[in-house]
């Protein structure tokens, strides 16, 4: 029979010794949660644009695109997304919307 060893999961705060390291870890966790929620919001906005494009509703797609573009620009300026990644995603969304409006 195999003997299974128990694995201890250490919290990040348990490992740190210095006060400055503990503070930095707390700040990193807070920033991680903020960035995660911002990325989730961006994904939601992207889905709204794609859904409107799939349903071929040009007006809704344009409105959703402007909101998404603004959010992606803000996220890239805040450092949540790389600026090239943001511009790539904006470009792909605008292509989808432009296909609807031109047709």
- Domains (range + CATH), the chain: 16-102 (1.20.58.110)
Task: Work out the percent of the chain whose per-residue pLDDT is above 70.
Answer: 84
pLDDT at 10 over 80: no
Q: CB neighbours of 68 closer than 8 A, spacing ≥ 6?
A: 42, 45, 46, 48, 49, 90, 93
Q: Is pLDDT at 4 greater than 80 in this prediction?
A: no
């Amino acid at each position: 029979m195999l003997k299974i060893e128990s694995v201890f999961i250490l919290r990040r705060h348990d490992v740190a010794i210095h006060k400055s390291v503990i503070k930095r870890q707390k700040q990193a966790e807070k920033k991680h949660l903020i960035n995660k929620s911002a990325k989730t919001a961006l994904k939601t906005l992207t889905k709204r644009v794609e859904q409107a494009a799939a349903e071929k509703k040009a007006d809704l797609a344009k409105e959703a695109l402007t909101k998404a573009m603004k959010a992606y620009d803000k996220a890239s300026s805040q450092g949540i997304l790389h600026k090239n990644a943001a511009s790539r995603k904006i470009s792909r969304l605008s292509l989808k919307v432009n296909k609807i409006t031109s047709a």
